[in-house]
Structure 1
């Protein structure tokens, strides 16, 4: 026994010395000198691409590593080895692969946040066994996170936030025992095979997995993280309902964000078990049902975001119990109650957003208690009543007040001037009336003032000139009178000014030319007069609309100094401008819309339209322009609308315009075009005018036969998908502000009707008032989406082709004043939408068909055809019923030919009686289509009539 004990002691003694020796040698291995560490850091620095703030890292300064090297901290006990490196925001770029981590064994803190590092994380980082703090956030790292990071057993803080990491998060990384802060947010991490295989780090209190590519399983391991106080899973692709265990297992949560996760199902009433919550975000999900009243029991809640979650029902009155609530966002839901009085008890609210719901009723007076409000957003509801002075007087901290798109009425009280801090005041699309309060001049911080689409009257208050920080003034569509303040040019920050559709008079102030930051300016449809301010030097101008006023003089552009290269939309139409069109308008690099129609401009069109221009709309109609069309228009490859009608342009048919593959509207009406429609440019017929939908060459001197070679390729008028297109209008949206809508004038029964907007499904061909001859080509019957066809006042002969019965969408047809003979085809009774028909002054004969829309047409549709008989003419067809031609005489074969049986005809007849009587009888009998304009959203162009009368000497007499 003694021998055993002695041997045991000897063994212990030997082992002790072996351990001591091993420890000594190991310490020799891992202990690095300051010289070695300095060399390692300098070597890494030299491998980086950009190091603007690391000049102190130099081998010449090697002995001062711990005292004078920026961003380096040495061990406090020895002051010889590097323990902490803080490079956050040093604007560094490069990789980590030049850094020898093994030579920094005592490193505890490494902060590389907010730089421009790229590449992957080297596996050698796992050798930093003493590391406590590691921040890679806000860089451009990519690749997967190496599993060797699981060796960092002392790590407490780890952030990968805002990089491009991908792949699954390894088990080794997510199970570090001491980590309390873990941030994987804003990367491309994907879900591992089974979240349930993961165990939660016992010390974890902060977990951010937001804005990644996690799908679709909710990370179940989180339910084991009982110490979590912060959890952000927002902006991922989970689905299903929130696990009930979240509410019971994570009772310590103070911050929970599940916004934009695709979560479904009802919000659980168990949410109140998260009694320590201060911030709750669940917006942008697909929850169903009401907002649970139990949310109001989370007494310490300060921020509540439930926007866009499809919530229905009432706003819970229990929210009034959240006495610490500072931010409440319930916008974008289907809440249909009134605003509960109890919200007035949340006296610490700084932001209240209830926008985009179905809320109704007046604003409760209790909201006057919310004296700390900086943002109140109640827009896009049906809130009614008035803004009382007593209600708004306490909102003196407001920075943003958004009440637009409601039903508010009455005057805006002068107490609104108490909003000294207000920057955004948006009251548009309500029913406010009375004058704009002059007290707005005291809102010196104002940036955006939008009172548009109301019933404000009176003048623009001169105090508006006190708003020296104002950027946007929008008074569109009110009843404002008076003038634009002359000193408006003093508002140096102004970039948006819109007073469209008011009753302003006087002249445009010249000081507007001083607004160097101006981007959008519109005074459309007022009574302004005088000349136009010089806008040649407004380099930032994008949208300029001065149309529908009484402006005169020349277009104030000096092409030598013209600097408005950003101009996209220029609309000076419907004025009294004279002189020539400045040639440089065709060369502006950003211009998409050039609209100068209905003025008194003379001279020629701009001759130079350079290659690469982006013009999509050119409207110069209703002027006194001469000469030929410039061939450089062929460079306008994006052109959709070209209207040069009602001028004195003299040229042959510009077949070369067929090269413009986007052209949809071509109007050459009432000029001096002549010759035939020959394809003089040798364009392949199949490629000419493929998208054309409006073709108007009326009132010219074109001769020869109808343009068959072009008509057969008008693909834009064939097989239009009305269901897909819907009520979409042609517009130029490139200004970034209100859309510009191209308008056109069409002739219906010799009445000029202006379509203020052009439906994408609108198609018409007008060849009237020319010298055309020959027969109507059968090919027209293939243009099956055509709504209007006018061939009147020509020398067309032959018969009306049966194929016109294929034009099932046709709404008006005018073949009058020609030499057409034969009978009116029965096939035309298939045209169930035909509301206007004129075949008068021809050589037609036989019985007029009956049935369908033909029962609605009156005598003037057929006058001047001596051989026609039957209803509605007083001349009967010999009284023999066998000779009467009605729609019932169509045979089965006829019905198959036109694809129409008796049932659609019956339906069409019903429609025809209503539509035809309204659009035909009343329209023709009264000669006053104003009611039609209001019904269809069109207007009769009185100014167009004025211009037409002024040009009577140009109208050709046709026999």
Structure 2
């Protein structure tokens, strides 16, 4: 044994007293006891705020530090969480992190009598949105203040600036706390010792970043998700001691990465979910101390510079979800410390560089959703520590050597779906993959179920969709040992049978778009998502379906199911969110849905033979967004009681036997979110009540995301059965889009998904009388209006010119009279217009979109003249363009609707041009081919999209 050097012995003796003091194992070394006034202050604080039985404490089984604070123990310096100065006995440190503190705190709280405090930690408690007391400024000796996630609110007091000794300040995750009124220049002048600052999740409205750039002592700055706006000053990156910078999740914070100087001290840089744009600078290579770099979900463009190879200390690199292009640089091979690399969701091209297989420390590699070509490098098996490999949705081709890839013994996730592999070499049946839990081989030219999966007993997530797997499901596959199988997707294949289930833990199953025949398979009782639409299933819906106590999405649509809907399905209303039974041969009444609690958001039972009236029990489904009873035999009056379903966006009652008048609304706040109303082909009568147009608020403002589709999404974790550690779980989303049938020129077109900005009113083919209400002009976001085939009289209201987003207008087959308002030429998105078979007269407007409409838009109006008609106007008079009317006069109260024959309605995915092109097509098949070519994309997935994050 080597002798201990004198220097080491001196160092050991120097630190040992400090260690023992902090561990409180030698009380005899303490010369003084704590001061009685501070002991009393601590006991008073405990009595006011300590609540060990509150939910958070019981749930997390805390150590309950304050239980050691007792009257019997006279020396508070040995209480848990308390430290005192050895010489003076004053309390200098108070660590009450997660200590079951509950209550409103103010300036009189006894805690602020501890004026010798240097460190105060109140993090992770619950102070009921109290303001930070102004007496915080009395603790002038504080060097560290931590109020993380303790439910403080209001303004940060200016007295905080009295704490001129602060080196660490953490006010993060207090969502009600605001930084708006502090004098930022004063802050910079007084808090000169500040080294660590964390204001995450605060509402920062002050001109903040410019001031922060002058805090030259900062070593870490965390401003995550705190509403930062504007452009980040370059000086932030040039702070001389800054090692950690986190500006994540400030979506309105813009800027460019600067030119970094040599020897920059930055070690961690997190800029994800910001609006940073521009290229990655070549000087990125100067960040030689950098070990974490995350700028995902931003707007970067250009190439990845080869200088990135100089960042040899990097352990984590994410450029996920940007607009980067070009090839992955081969210099990346120098990042030998890298354990996580995410370049997904960009526009990277070229082959996967073989040099990437030199990164032997990699555990996570995600290159998905790019434009990569070529094969997977055979040396991929060198990445022996790899646990997650994501290569889906590229253009990878050639032979897929699964026998090589699956040599990675630690692999838990392998996603290779949606590439262009021509051939697959499977591994040997004896290949052992004890850790593989997720496998994605969708759209990989498989003609049969892969044999090697039969002994993957820990497999949880399996996606084999969009292949050419044909014939009956082999018995060997149903008998494989996959007890943990949680998700199975076999959709869009050619499978003809699927017998009884053998996987007890299956939660999500998608068998849509196959040729499965026979009776409806009964899934496991705990299944959550069961999709079997677009098959050839027959027979009745078994009452066993009512035993699916955890069902969330149930889609049995577009099969050959017969019989009645089991009444007991209403028992599922507490868990069921989506129910789709459309396109079968079901008859009888829809279940009465009698439970008081109902969380259903979507019901589609269209295209059946259902009878009776609408079940009034649906009024309990307060979250209902989408309701489609179209094309049945329902006999009822207008369901005005649905006006209290405040989330209702889509109401389709087309082609039934609804009848009678639609009276005035009982209250003014009904149907506020309604965007699509289809009451066509019924027998509604009387006048169109103008009040309804006044209350359709959602059709008056553009408040929906232009990229959001009507649908339902569910997030879940596919490794939840295998791993207890939260950080090891991968999440994915099952996104279910609501399909709809839109009738265009008498042709029914089914769309697999509909953008939510689409606003539609179709009242066609009823017995409405009277004039068109002026109030329809208030629906300025309306895209499609069809009130054809009624008995409407009077003029076309000029207020229609206010519908500036309108793409399709059909007023044909009525008894309208007067002129076509010249103001309608302001509708520059109008791609379809039909006023045929009315009593209109006068000149046809000759400007903008009206120069594109053909004769059949005006036929049957013997008084009309001018192009495109051959009848010339006898005494041509220049008709001025009238400005759009903004007046919506109140009409006499009336009632709504007759037998609708919903005739011409079309949706617009891309504005007027799309509608114009679709309207020009004359056959269903041609329309379908056009639509599929332009909008389904090369993947054409219908029901769900899986995203791993």
TM over 0.5: yes
Deviations 1:864-903, CA, capped at 9 Å, x for gaps: 7889888777xx65xxx5537xxx64533x735879xxxx
Shift of residue 304, structure 1, vs aligned partner: 3.9
2:354 alignment counterpart: 365
2:510 alignment counterpart: 522
Shift of residue 614, structure 1, vs aligned partner: 2.7
Does the 8 Å contact 2:410/2:435 carry over to 1?
yes
- The answer to which structure has the higher helix fraction is 1
Unaligned runs of 5+ in 1: 1-27, 53-87, 202-206, 226-230, 900-910, 940-959
- Residue 742 of structure 1, aligned match among 702, 723, 738: 738
2:748 alignment counterpart: 752
2:553 alignment counterpart: 569
Does the 8 Å contact 2:426/2:452 carry over to 1?
no
1:556 alignment counterpart: 542
Does the 8 Å contact 1:856/1:920 carry over to 2?
no
Does the 8 Å contact 2:777/2:800 carry over to 1?
no
Deviations 1:799-821, CA, capped at 9 Å, x for gaps: 664659646625242634x6x48
Does the 8 Å contact 2:570/2:595 carry over to 1?
yes
Does the 8 Å contact 2:50/2:100 carry over to 1?
no
- Residue 303 of structure 1, aligned match among 265, 274, 291: 291
Shift of residue 511, structure 1, vs aligned partner: 1.5
Deviations 1:894-921, CA, capped at 9 Å, x for gaps: 735879xxxxxxxxxxx99988984555
Residues 730/712 of structure 1: CA separation in 2 closer, same or farther (3 Å cut): same
The alignment's TM-score, normalised by the length of structure 1, stands at: 0.69
Which structure is higher in RCO with an 8 Å CA cutoff and minimum separation 6? 2
1:110-121 residue pairs with structure 2 within 5 A?
116=99, 118=101
Unaligned runs of 5+ in 2: 1-27, 54-60, 79-83, 717-732, 887-909, 938-949
Shift of residue 394, structure 1, vs aligned partner: 1.3
* Number of equivalent positions: 803
1:317-332 residue pairs with structure 2 within 5 A?
317-320=306-309, 326-331=315-320
1:258 alignment counterpart: 245
- Residue 882 of structure 2, aligned match among 875, 895, 901: 895
Residues 546/174 of structure 1: CA separation in 2 closer, same or farther (3 Å cut): same
Residues 654/184 of structure 1: CA separation in 2 closer, same or farther (3 Å cut): closer
- Residue 446 of structure 1, aligned match among 413, 436, 441: 436
In 1, the alpha carbon distance for the partners of 2:495 and 2:749 equals 28
RMSD of aligned Cα (Å): 5.3
Residues 515/711 of structure 1: CA separation in 2 closer, same or farther (3 Å cut): farther
1:622 alignment counterpart: 607
Deviations 1:284-340, CA, capped at 9 Å, x for gaps: 4787876666665777x5724253487666544344456565444455666545322
Residues 342/600 of structure 1: CA separation in 2 closer, same or farther (3 Å cut): same
Does the 8 Å contact 2:254/2:277 carry over to 1?
no
1:547 alignment counterpart: 533
Does the 8 Å contact 1:690/1:714 carry over to 2?
no
Shift of residue 376, structure 1, vs aligned partner: 1.8
Shift of residue 401, structure 1, vs aligned partner: 1.4
Moved more, 577-586 or 432-441: 432-441
Does the 8 Å contact 1:241/1:263 carry over to 2?
no
Does the 8 Å contact 1:197/1:221 carry over to 2?
no
Residues 354/811 of structure 1: CA separation in 2 closer, same or farther (3 Å cut): closer
1:504 to 2:501 alignment: no
Task: Work out which of the two has the higher radius of gyration on C-alpha atoms and give 1 or 2.
Answer: 1
Does the 8 Å contact 1:416/1:439 carry over to 2?
no
In 2, the alpha carbon distance for the partners of 1:368 and 1:314 equals 21
1:696 alignment counterpart: 678
1:285-304 residue pairs with structure 2 within 5 A?
296=285, 301=289, 303-304=291-292
Secondary structure of the equivalent of 2:619?
Answer: helix
2:904 alignment counterpart: none
In 1, the alpha carbon distance for the partners of 2:197 and 2:69 equals 24
In 2, the alpha carbon distance for the partners of 1:558 and 1:123 equals 64
Secondary structure of the equivalent of 1:392?
Answer: helix
In 2, the alpha carbon distance for the partners of 1:710 and 1:855 equals 31
Residues 49/605 of structure 1: CA separation in 2 closer, same or farther (3 Å cut): same
Does the 8 Å contact 2:363/2:385 carry over to 1?
yes
Deviations 1:601-642, CA, capped at 9 Å, x for gaps: 122111134344233322111112122222223333333332
Secondary structure of the equivalent of 2:696?
Answer: helix
Residues 451/872 of structure 1: CA separation in 2 closer, same or farther (3 Å cut): same
Deviations 1:817-852, CA, capped at 9 Å, x for gaps: x6x486774659746655556666x58587884746
Secondary structure of the equivalent of 2:520?
Answer: coil
2:233 alignment counterpart: 240
2:396 alignment counterpart: 408
In 1, the alpha carbon distance for the partners of 2:590 and 2:425 equals 44
1:173-572 residue pairs with structure 2 within 5 A?
193-197=186-190, 208-210=196-198, 216=209, 231-235=219-223, 240-242=233-235, 247=240, 256-260=243-247, 267=258, 269-272=260-263, 274=265, 279-281=267-269, 283-284=271-272, 296=285, 301=289, 303-308=291-296, 314-320=303-309, 326-331=315-320, 335-389=324-378, 391-414=379-402, 415-435=404-424, 437=426, 442-452=432-442, 454-482=443-471, 486-487=477-478, 490-500=481-491, 502-511=492-501, 514-516=503-505, 518=507, 520-535=508-523, 537-538=525-526, 541-558=527-544, 562-564=547-549, 566-572=550-556
1:17 alignment counterpart: none
1:599 to 2:577 alignment: no
Does the 8 Å contact 1:195/1:220 carry over to 2?
no
Residues 550/439 of structure 1: CA separation in 2 closer, same or farther (3 Å cut): farther
In 2, the alpha carbon distance for the partners of 1:330 and 1:258 equals 16
1:137-152 residue pairs with structure 2 within 5 A?
140=125
Does the 8 Å contact 1:845/1:869 carry over to 2?
no
1:204 alignment counterpart: none
